[in-house]
Amino acid sequence: MVTSEDIERFLIRLELPYEELRESMWLVGNGQEGVPPVVLNHTPPILLLRAEVMRTPDDEELRQGLFRSLLELNATDLVHGAYGLEGDDIVLTDALELADLDFSEVQASLDSILLALSAHYKVLAHYRTP
């Protein structure tokens, strides 16, 4: 099983900015250019990747449009992970099994999430409220 130390070695190899938030939890990315950072949480038997994307708009029509857009993005544009709703927050998450996890799987999941956050920024910006 992949350990917390293995995950940290993977992060070093990825050469992305990261910081350890606490034991077995890291913040990856620096939140620039509208791309929120991704939290990696080593919680056996999984590695959870999670990014807080935005709050849902108060306007019902905007919220329904946002939900439709997120479902369409889930179906057509995400290789790893999915958008979801946690309370009033939109999140993007992925979970990887630690049993036989390797560097390339972590890299693929993290790259996919970071690319999605960057590429979808303009689409989702339409639904952001000040």
For 71, the domain range is: 4-125
Are 83 and 90 in contact by the 8 Å Cβ rule? The answer is yes
Q: Evaluate whether residue 130 is within a structural domain.
A: no
What is the CATH number for 78?
Answer: 3.30.1460.10
User: pLDDT of 31-80, one tens digit each?
Assistant: 677 789 999 999 999 999 999 999 999 999 999 999 999 999 999 999 89
Q: Evaluate whether residue 14 is within a structural domain.
A: yes
Q: Evaluate whether residue 74 is within a structural domain.
A: yes
pTM above threshold 0.85: yes
> For residue 85, what are the CA distances in angstroms to 8, 20, 24, 43, 92?
28, 26, 24, 21, 9
Tokens of 15: 């050469």
Q: Evaluate whether residue 70 is within a structural domain.
A: yes
Q: Evaluate whether residue 16 is within a structural domain.
A: yes
Are 52 and 36 in contact by the 8 Å Cβ rule? The answer is yes
Query: How many structural domains compose the chain?
Result: 1
